[in-house]
Amino acid sequence: MKLPRLTCVIACALAVSGCASMWPASYQVDAHIASTPATVVWGYLPAGRPPVLTIRSGQTVKIDTISHQGLLSGTDPVKFFGAAGIAPSEVLPDASEIYAKAPRPKTAGAHVLTGPIFVEGAEPGDMLEVRMLDFQFRVPYGVNNSNKGTGMLPDVHEKPYPKVIRFDLARRVALFAPGIEVPLVPFMGIMAVMPPDPLANTRPPGIYGGNMDFNRLTVGARLYLPVHQRGALFYTGDSHAVQGDGEINGTAIEASLAPVLQFFVHKRAGAAMKWPRAEDADNYYVMGMDVDLDAALKEAALETIAFLQREKGLSPADAYSLASIAVNYTVGEAVDQVQMVYGAIPKRIFTR
């Protein structure tokens, strides 16, 4: 499971969000996890699952993931993608193997997740920091899939509409249609620590992270998750090539990626966390989640005030004022049963 340390250099020209970021120009991979029926779970997070890898705080892991798109139609991925003109040689062998061999309970969600990773020293009440160093494309295509009864506009479709979209990876764009090219901004739709209790279905996000579909978690970002179980037990999957805020038809361009992530344990820093947090070079991000979108916004606003009090020393009244003046609130996703709203607190407003 472990590899010799591999040094990778990232060309700044390939950073879709620009060169002003929080990540180094190079990184070293300490271990690699392949995606196989033994290293993935399909649609649920079970209790007692043994780690597929154990690492120390500060180590970096390359994690192969498989998109669930192409595995849900009841046909082999080679046949599914072949109908869209994808050659068998372009279909990942591990996708076919997982489709044939990985168990998926009837109540489970759609997502294929690689993990868990056990991080030494992580205990309940700690905080796990996940740094996004790189996202490597495993295939030059992805799928946006919607259906009748799904998304924000459930009556648009009469039947499933799986749109297979080719990529020009040299130019970092998705070839949506003649004359329409969408820049690729890859990220992981799901990054999660093991929740306090087993999760029967991976669709809803929560205090553990999970299916947040948070498109700001691309190269250079950092995600902060409260730890609930010894070792944190980190999973990732639901890899996205690009996604708009809201994810209104229910999916992004779903594509198999290999994220390169670095993990740090912060002792006793997660005990008071109500929701995950994140940051990148430009913003601090706070989140709120609820089945009701208005309640999710209220949770994000409360998180903003708590952050500004704790980190910047503001009174509740001044924090509320600053949130109204300078913080932008956005629907991250509105299609996963539990909705997620995030607030972007711009770093440039703080002069010290």
Do strands 328-333 and 339-346 pair parallel, antiparallel, or not at all (unpaired)?
antiparallel
Q: Six-digit token pair at 106?
A: 């009837």
Q: What is the model's pTM? A: 0.93
Yes or no: domain 282-349 corresponds to CATH 3.10.28.20: yes
- Write down the domain spans for the chain: 2-266, 282-349
Residue 185 C-alpha from the chain's centroid: 12
Dihedral over Cα of 231, 266, 341, 156: its sign = negative
Looking at residue 12, what is its pLDDT?
A: 40
Residues whose CB is less than 8 angstroms from the CB of residue 50 and which lie 6 or more positions away in sequence, other chains included: none
Which superfamily does 2-266 belong to? Answer: Acetamidase/Formamidase-like domains (2.60.120.580)
pLDDT in tens, the chain (352 residues): 444 455 665 544 333 333 445 766 689 999 999 999 999 999 999 999 999 999 999 999 999 999 999 999 899 999 999 999 999 999 999 999 999 999 999 999 999 999 999 999 999 999 999 999 999 999 999 999 998 888 899 899 888 899 999 999 999 999 999 999 999 999 999 999 999 999 999 999 999 999 999 999 999 999 999 999 999 999 999 999 999 999 999 999 999 999 999 999 999 999 999 999 999 999 999 999 999 999 999 999 999 999 999 999 999 999 999 999 999 999 999 999 999 999 999 999 999 8
DSSP assignment string, 134-179: EEEESSSEEEEEE-TT-SS-TTS-SS-EEEEEEEETTTTEEEEETT
Compute the radius of gyration of the chain from its Cα atoms. 20
